[in-house]
Structure 1
Amino acid sequence: MSVSLIVLIVIVLLVVLLVIWGIGAYNGLVNLRNRVANGWAQIDVQLKQRADLVPNLVQTVKGYASHESTVLEEVTKARADVAQAQAAGGDRMQARADAEQRLGQSLVTLMARAEAYPELKANQNFLDLQRQLKDLEDKIAYARQFYNDVVQKFNTRIETVPSNIIASLFHFRQAQYFQADEGSRQAPVVDFGQ
C-alpha cells in the first residue's frame, strides 16, 4: 500500500467522521429546538385553561361582591389583553408573558379581596374555582420552569464550540426565556377599604 493511498483513506475517514458529527450536532439542535416549542405549547395549554376559568370566577365573585367592580374590570381587561397577545402570535412571547403576569396579579388581587366576603368563601362553586386556579398556577409554574430549563440547554448548545458552527450554518437562533416583567415581581396592593 502506498503512502498516498493511506493519506487518501485517512482524509476520507476524517471527512466521514466530520459529516457524522455534523449530522449528530444538527439533530441535537433540532431536538432541543422542538423541546423548546413543546415547552412553550405546554405553557400555552395551561394559560388557556386559566383564561377559560376566569369568566366563571368573575361571575361567581360578582354575585357576592358586586361593588368590587374595579377589581373585576381589571381581571376582565387582563384576560382580554392575554387574548390579544395570544392572537398576535409570532415572536411576541414577551408581550404574552407580560399580559399573563398582569392577569396573574389581577387574580391574586381578586382572591385577596374575596377574603372579605365570608359567604363567598363558603360558596362551593367559588371553592372549586379557587382550587382549580391554584392547581393551574402550580402547573403553569412547573411548565415555565421546564420551558426555561430547555431554553437554557438549547441556547448553551447554540453558543458552545463546536455545535455553534452547525447552529450558525443552519441559522439556529436563541430562544427567549419566559420571564416576568419588572412590575409583576412586586406583590399586588390589596386595599379592603375601597
Structure 2
Amino acid sequence: MRKDTKEHLLETGLDLLLEHGYNDLGVQALLSASDVPKGSFYHHFRSKQDFALAVVDRYMRQVHAGLDDCLNDTRRPPLDRVRRFFELSREKYGREGYRGCLLGNLGQELSAVNDAFRYKIEWCFGEITARLAVCLEEARLHGDLPKETDVHHMADLLLDCWEGAALRSRLRRDPAPLTAMLDFYFRTAA
C-alpha cells in the first residue's frame, strides 16, 4: 500500500531539498518527483515555505531518533556515545552522496533572508546541543571531562565544528573533513 500522501511528499522533499536546496526546488518539480497532484500538495501545505518547514520537522524526528539510539546506549561511555552519533551521521552522509546536513544547508542558504527558517534552524540546533550537553554532563560527572567544563558551551562548539566540517565534506564529496574534525575534537576535549 502506498504511503500517506503527506508523508510521501515530506520524504521526497527531504531528498530534493538536500540535493537542490530551497531556492532551486520548485513545487512542480516536487510534484513530478513524488507523482502527487498539485491539489494534494495544497491540501497538506499552505505554501512552499510551510512545506519546507514541515520537512525540517520530519528531519528532526530522524535526528532525535539517532540521538536516542546513541546517547541512551549506556553500554558505552558517555563520550563514546556522543562520538557514535556523529560517526553514524558521517556514514549516512556518505550513503547519501555527501549532501550534508539539511539544517546546515538550509541555514546557509536562507538564514540571511528568511527569519522563519533562521529561527526554526537555530531552535533545532539548540535542541540537538541540549541533548548532547546532557550526555557530556554525564561524562563530566564520571571524570571523563574536567570538572570545570561548561558542557553547554562544549556541545555548541561540537555542533559548530561539525557543521563546518559537513560543508567541507559536501564540497569535497569526501568524509575526511568529518573524520578529522571528530578526531581533533575528541582528542582535545577529553
Shorter-chain TM band = under 0.3
Q: TM-score, normalised by structure 1?
A: 0.27
Greater helix share, 1 or 2?
1
Q: Which protein has the larger Cα radius of gyration, Structure 1 or Structure 2? A: 1
Q: TM-score, normalised by structure 2?
A: 0.28
**Which gives a bigger RCO, structure 1 or 2 (Cα 8 Å, sep 6+)?**
1
